[in-house]
Structure 1
Amino acid sequence: MISVCTLLLAFLHSSFGYQGCLSGMPDLGKTFQLKQIEIEYTSVDGKSVVMIVDNNTNENDSMQLIHQYGVMAYFPANICNYSTLVKIDLLENKIRYISNISCLMGLEILNLKRNRLTRLSNTTFLGLTQLIALDVSENKIIEIEPYALVGLNLNISYIDASKNSLTSVDITNIVMSGPFCFRDFSNNQVSKLTNLEGIVLDTNKTYGPGIVTFQNNPFLTWPEFDKLGVANLVDLGALFDFGFNFEGANFTCDCKMEPFLSLAENVIKRIWRNVYDVKCANPPNLKGMSILNLTMNSQLDMFVCPINVENGCPIKCNCTEKSRQRMLIVDCHDLGLTTLPDHLPKTSFSYELNVCNNSISVLDARDYLKNVSVLKICNNELQRIDIGVIEVIKNITNLSLANNGGFLQSLPRSIQYLTADSLDLRNLTIFCDCDTIWISEWLQFRQVDSDTVYCHTESYGRIKAIAFKDVHGDKCKVKDFKTIIISICIAVVLLIIILTTVISYKFRYEIRILLRRQHNSVGKFQYDIYISFDENNDCLLRWVKQILVPFLDNCGYCTYLPMRDCLPGNINEEDAQNVLHETRCFLVIVSSSYLCQEGRPRTEIEWKYAWDLYVSDKHRKIVMINFDHLPASRVDPPKIKAFIRVRKALDFRNRDGMHLSDIDRAIGHGRKINRQCVSRPAFRARLLRHRPRVSVELSKLA
């Protein structure tokens, strides 16, 4: 069975078009036979029930409830018992709240005009899939929640929410996928449209056709459609197949309205019906003018936004944003300025800056110049243009330096690479010498008024710039040759300096080792030698304990061996630092495993402090033994690599045995033959009991 809603909607659109929709609330009682049910009050506070009074009416009949000008404060308690209700008309009662009426799934018309409603929630009409017409006008509604009037299962074609106290309307209660008749929000206090749910309209759908009216609401600014779900204003005409009525709104016709009107020019007659002639309320020069006519007559250039000092406009300047040209115009002409403005208003557009007729002598680089498309600095006292300016304004389209008094000390050569469509150099005088001879060549092919560009020269005074090369060219050739020779010499010197610097840095440790002069005096130290090696290397450990240490002891050196002279578990950074401060020579035995610092923090600490002492105190020595005969290419630590690279490390000769006398000579002064060496007796005694003769070779230890 075709629903009454579907028949009515088809009837209105086919018979009357939109004018039929505008004619008012549909009256199903005149078109279809509905059985009337009545109200019986159950209390003096407006509570009631509904009842059937016609004996010929049964519960399966289509019914209507009409109770106008009553004192009903609540929906009837048993309303859900009458699920075949099609129409409810409760005009001018005292209802403050709409109870759960989702049970009335056949309801198609609901008239609650002139009641006392204050709020419509998004569950108020939930489940009323057949509802076609809703009148909640002349209530006291201050809020309509998002999706209260439009939802997945709501297809309300006629909505009248006029003459309430709404201050905003959410976009979700306006747009509807598919046709509708009317959304009336007129005569409220609506000043803005919102998008509280952050919806983005689907470009694959068409919303409408239908009419939405906001007549006689205090709108001051045009709705920002990009914040109302329209991701791109270009899609606006495709999305909305319905019209708006903003009659009576006090619109300011400015740059915020212009983008919508520009992009909707081809659909403006459809979106903005001719029957609604909306006019500008501001600014004064557009007051009373038809917005539709201004759009159709291509007069949207007049829709601008003035910017005041509080929003960044320089003092005394006039700033105007023109969204049509995507330009912010800053007019500071004839204000007695001596420099460029310190700042410009923030904008997403490019700038046009006019500082003509001032006393500016220097065109210096400002951050905002990179966003300037048009720069007019004519009729000033320009004497200098900073080199960095041309790089900043490389994207400029229009540059005017015309009619500047005096003469420019120089013109940056990079100006010839500007891609500006318009370059005005009329009556500009430039100081010219051999360095600026390029100006003559440039003016010959640059499309400027070259006859009024002049050169100021020491020899010839003021001449046309385009002729400077012909007059002064021969003198510049000699200077150019000298300049080339000097430039080559400077380049060679710079190259030598750079190479020397690079080499010095790369081999800085090698240079320090080679140039270091050892102090001849012994100095006062508690220990002669601090031995550092990888104690986890068994072969190396046996050589140190059985050969190296006994040899050094026999030579009279006072040695410090951490594994022997430090209590177990007591090896830390502070102990190593204290001992190294009291030691003259740091003997490091480099092996492959010694270079793997991970898991060996002690050897890393030892080397760090030993190197610092070696650099700062010329009494100190570092003696390095290359136990594994490692080439420098296999060593990563740069300081150890430097010792090996300059051959300051003693190579351990695996086959012939180590010449221990080489170690003795490398250590040099400082034998403590006549002094008792301080060490840990328990460990020394254990070591000396097993000490063999010094001549034992490594091959016998393996």
Structure 2
Amino acid sequence: MEYLCPVKCQENDHVKCCCACEISQSELYSNITIIPLFVEQLDVTGRISTLFDPYENNVSETNFEFVYQDGFLRSYPVNMCIYNIVAIDLTNNKFVEVGDVSCLVDLDTLILKYNLITYVSNRTFEGLKKLRKVDLSYNRLKFLDNNLFASNTVFFADFSGNYFKEIDVSNFLHDVTCNFNFENNNDHMTITNHDNIQLGSEVTEFCGHLNFDNNSLSINPILLVSDKIDPNEIVKYTSGGSLALGGSMYVCDCELAELIQLEYPDFKRLASKELHQSRCQSPEKLKNKDIYEVWENKTLHDEMICDLTIPEGCTSFQIRDTMSYGCSIDPYISGCNFLCPTKSDGCECRCTSQPSKKRLIVDCSNQNCTDLPRVIPKSKYKVTLIMLNNKIKTVNCKYYYENISVLDLRGNFVKYLSDDIGKMTSATEVRLDDHELVTLPKAIQNLQPNVFHFGLKGIPCICDHIWIGEWQKYRPSNTKNFDKLYCLNNYITIEEYIEEAECNIESFELTTWISFSIIITAILGFLTLVYYFRFEILILRQRLKSPRKPFSPNEIDCYIAYDGENEDVRTFVFDLDCFLRKREFSTYITCRDAELGETRENNILIHVTKCKYVIIVQSSNMYTKNNIHHALYRQEYRLAWNRFMQGYLNNILVIDFDNEGPGLYFHKKTIALYRLGMGLSVSNRKISLYEKILETFSKPVHSKQVLRNGWMKTKRKYECENKVNL
């Protein structure tokens, strides 16, 4: 909704907030008369009541309000929706829920304080675009749905004096939050951020005032929405806002340390307390110190730490069954799965967050650990991992490598570093003073050599380690206190060794590259051959398999596919048919044996499915014309090929009738069949066609031709005797 902005806001640095927060209801409705309505209660339970206007104004042209305090109403008047109501005040009645107010589209103010409401849904205020003020203070509220005011512009909300155990930031942190009041809550309040709302993205500017006086909070809400920004940038998005946390002295831990880096007026604005509360109550080293003194003395900031060994709400013996070893772990699954490591993890540690140094310290010294911790607490700061005097011999991959700033492995006889060490791109110091390494992983070249401290222990200086010496040379020119890497058997550095070593580096590199090139060329050549002869390979593989389908005596031996429009081909096929039937092979020819009443497509599917072999007599232009017959010829070939590949056909024979060679249709497949002896040309005088057929096809399924009506056709066998000259 758009409001008329007060003149005094025109010069304000936060015009948007000022316009929304400074305009009063009287200014908003300065030219509109608001008529009060009266309530008539119709029963003693307070469940039935009505509203009436003694002046009988026109309900469609008049704005109304109704105030009914200190009564017994449990629900709204039954005729409430006929009035254009802009304000409701039902203080100190008996409502147990906010109820349905969706019909009051012009509602500006809703006051239900001192009632018996326990829960509010985020659908309660849907559609109320003009709603600005909600007062639900001193009810019995324990829960609010997230995003309670997502569909409207509520600028003022009072939830004080309730019983909240949990509040999500989506219910009070918006771009415009004039005044949201949660003071005097009767329980410890956990602040959550389920939608991961962040300053600078979801909230571009926080203005207005949040009042959490006399509360026990899990965290300052501002810190919960500033994970993605530097503490010094908090002011950029909160310059028009303030937060009251009165009721107790400051807990001067790592959370407060995030804000104490701001200018003092900004710090006080975002964590304000009464003057007599402006002291530290903990930790012990800062107890009773004035907060201004702590802010001013930067050395005291280092004492503002948090012990994350056992986070709030977790236990030291919590079972973490979602964990896995190695790099695959997701560090943001949530909660207690990411405790500081304990004895149950095989390595007990102490975890401390120190914002003044922008680091998370994970100290696992002297704990007989055999590996780095598999999990560490979630933190936006870089990790200082201290593993002094343990039993670590292998440094394996961990998901948090990219966040490690310092890794101290002194007192460990490390023998192996995994290639994943190269992921420590944020590392400034890695201590390996007592190592027993014999080589280094190639990935270490991704890091600066001055990061690593190898002490006086060295590695074997051999020609294969020339690259390590070259890597050591390329350290930054301004490097100080650089620990050079020594050779194992003589007290010279590996840099000095490569200057004296008689290693034919160029020859070695050339041989390596030649070998590598030969291998790659061979692989590419092999893959090219496999691709080029892919259909031949498929056919050979299929021929080595036994057929899937057992053939029953009533099935057909040979399905003959041919161009029925070509008279010469048709004559040839009839001769071929006679030859096969004389040899006791049953055959199927479409023009003779098609099932009556079936479509041509179904006949092809039915009879190819019943056949043991398929003969394809190819002729010129058999597959190229765009008519129904040629489409069916293509279907025959495609179906025969697929069934052969699936193991349902014993064999295929392709016969080139007019010496045209493999056509364009299934060209590569046809060539593959010819190469493997499953195709021949009629004009080839070196090979007898009928001998080739007998060689290709084994013993027939039965000795008599089966017609479509099931009768045995024996007569035609003798009709063919004079047509086929053997």
Task: Give, in angstroms, the shift of residue 216 of structure 1.
Answer: 1.8
- Read off the aligned partner of 2:525 and give its amino acid letter: L
Task: Give, in angstroms, the shift of residue 542 of structure 1.
Answer: 1.2
Describe the SS at the equivalent of 2:413: coil
Q: For residue 244 of structure 1, what is the aligned residue in structure 2? A: 243
Q: For residue 589 of structure 1, what is the aligned residue in structure 2? A: 617
Contact 2:67 2:89 in 1 (8 A): yes
2:628 is the alignment partner of 1:650: no
Superposed CA deviations along residues 599-641 of structure 1, whole A, max 9, x for unmatched, are: 7775346644789756xxxxxxx65312465555835476532
Q: For residue 219 of structure 2, what is the aligned residue in structure 1? A: 221
What CA distance in whole angstroms lies between the structure 2 residues aligned with 1:470 and 1:198?
56
- Within the candidate set 389, 397, 402, 2:427 is matched to 397
What CA distance in whole angstroms lies between the structure 1 residues aligned with 2:41 and 2:534?
105
Contact 1:378 1:402 in 2 (8 A): yes
C-alpha distance 273-490 of structure 1, shift in aligned 2 (>3 A): closer
Task: Give, in angstroms, the shift of residue 361 of structure 1.
Answer: 2.1
Task: Give, in angstroms, the shift of residue 429 of structure 1.
Answer: 0.9
Moved more, 487-496 or 643-652: 487-496
Q: For residue 624 of structure 1, what is the aligned residue in structure 2? A: 654
Superposed CA deviations along residues 313-340 of structure 1, whole A, max 9, x for unmatched, are: 3221123455777754322223232333
Contact 1:183 1:212 in 2 (8 A): yes
Contact 1:350 1:372 in 2 (8 A): yes
Task: Give, in angstroms, the shift of residue 128 of structure 1.
Answer: 9.1
Moved more, 241-250 or 148-157: 148-157
Describe the SS at the equivalent of 1:353: strand
Contact 1:531 1:559 in 2 (8 A): yes
Task: Give, in angstroms, the shift of residue 423 of structure 1.
Answer: 3.2
2:633 is the alignment partner of 1:634: no
Q: For residue 362 of structure 1, what is the aligned residue in structure 2? A: 394
C-alpha distance 349-465 of structure 1, shift in aligned 2 (>3 A): same
Q: For residue 27 of structure 1, what is the aligned residue in structure 2? A: none
What CA distance in whole angstroms lies between the structure 1 residues aligned with 2:420 and 2:156?
62
What CA distance in whole angstroms lies between the structure 2 residues aligned with 1:509 and 1:158?
75
Q: For residue 150 of structure 2, what is the aligned residue in structure 1? A: none
Q: CA RMSD in A?
A: 6.3
Moved more, 411-420 or 199-208: 199-208
Contact 2:611 2:649 in 1 (8 A): no
Task: Give, in angstroms, the shift of residue 422 of structure 1.
Answer: 3.0
2:584 is the alignment partner of 1:558: yes
What CA distance in whole angstroms lies between the structure 1 residues aligned with 2:523 and 2:194?
66
Describe the SS at the equivalent of 2:434: coil
Task: Please list every run of 5 or more consecutive structure 2 residues that lacks an aligned counterpart in the other structure.
Answer: 1-5, 7-17, 22-35, 58-62, 135-154, 311-315, 319-335, 343-347, 545-551, 624-629
What CA distance in whole angstroms lies between the structure 1 residues aligned with 2:392 and 2:193?
49
Q: For residue 341 of structure 2, what is the aligned residue in structure 1? A: 314
Query: Aligned runs of 1:8-157 on 2, under 5 Å?
Result: 80-81=53-54, 95=72, 97=74, 100=77, 112=91, 123=101, 136=113, 142=118, 152-154=130-132
Larger radius of gyration: 1
Contact 1:398 1:420 in 2 (8 A): no
Query: Aligned runs of 1:453-468 on 2, under 5 Å?
Result: 453-457=485-489, 461-468=490-497
Q: For residue 374 of structure 1, what is the aligned residue in structure 2? A: 406
Contact 2:454 2:483 in 1 (8 A): no
What CA distance in whole angstroms lies between the structure 2 residues aligned with 1:451 and 1:197?
47
What CA distance in whole angstroms lies between the structure 2 residues aligned with 1:127 and 1:512?
72
- Within the candidate set 564, 571, 575, 1:543 is matched to 571
Superposed CA deviations along residues 64-95 of structure 1, whole A, max 9, x for unmatched, are: xxxxxxxxx999987754899999796xx565
What CA distance in whole angstroms lies between the structure 2 residues aligned with 1:218 and 1:650?
92
Superposed CA deviations along residues 329-378 of structure 1, whole A, max 9, x for unmatched, are: 32222323233334445667654432233232222334443554433323
Q: For residue 368 of structure 2, what is the aligned residue in structure 1? A: 336
Contact 1:547 1:692 in 2 (8 A): no
Task: Please list every run of 5 or more consecutive structure 1 residues that lacks an aligned counterpart in the other structure.
Answer: 1-5, 7-17, 22-36, 48-72, 519-524, 615-621, 696-702
- Read off the aligned partner of 1:152 and give its amino acid letter: K
- Within the candidate set 640, 647, 663, 1:603 is matched to 640
Describe the SS at the equivalent of 1:365: coil
- Read off the aligned partner of 1:424 and give its amino acid letter: H
Contact 2:259 2:267 in 1 (8 A): no
C-alpha distance 278-547 of structure 1, shift in aligned 2 (>3 A): farther
Q: For residue 666 of structure 1, what is the aligned residue in structure 2? A: 692
Contact 2:245 2:273 in 1 (8 A): no
Describe the SS at the equivalent of 2:492: strand
C-alpha distance 612-375 of structure 1, shift in aligned 2 (>3 A): farther
Describe the SS at the equivalent of 2:308: strand
How many residues are paired up?
A: 596
What CA distance in whole angstroms lies between the structure 2 residues aligned with 1:663 and 1:362?
72
- Read off the aligned partner of 2:497 and give its amino acid letter: F
Contact 1:355 1:376 in 2 (8 A): yes
Describe the SS at the equivalent of 1:453: coil
Contact 1:121 1:145 in 2 (8 A): no
Superposed CA deviations along residues 505-537 of structure 1, whole A, max 9, x for unmatched, are: 74366589999999xxxxxx999x954442564
Contact 1:535 1:541 in 2 (8 A): yes
What CA distance in whole angstroms lies between the structure 1 residues aligned with 2:373 and 2:484?
29
Task: Give, in angstroms, the shift of residue 409 of structure 1.
Answer: 0.7
Describe the SS at the equivalent of 2:575: helix
Contact 2:189 2:218 in 1 (8 A): yes
Contact 1:188 1:216 in 2 (8 A): no
Describe the SS at the equivalent of 2:589: helix
Describe the SS at the equivalent of 2:414: coil
Give the TM-score taking structure 1 as reference length. Answer: 0.62
What CA distance in whole angstroms lies between the structure 2 residues aligned with 1:652 and 1:409?
72
Task: Give, in angstroms, the shift of residue 435 of structure 1.
Answer: 1.0
- Read off the aligned partner of 1:643 and give its amino acid letter: L
Query: Aligned runs of 1:396-545 on 2, under 5 Å?
Result: 396-405=426-435, 407-419=436-448, 422-447=451-476, 449=481, 452-457=484-489, 461-471=490-500, 473-474=501-502, 476-477=503-504, 481=507, 484=510, 488=514, 492=518, 495-496=521-522, 499-500=525-526, 502-503=528-529, 506-507=532-533, 510=536, 530-535=557-562, 537-539=564-566, 542-545=570-573
- Read off the aligned partner of 1:542 and give its amino acid letter: R
Task: Give, in angstroms, the shift of residue 382 of structure 1.
Answer: 1.9
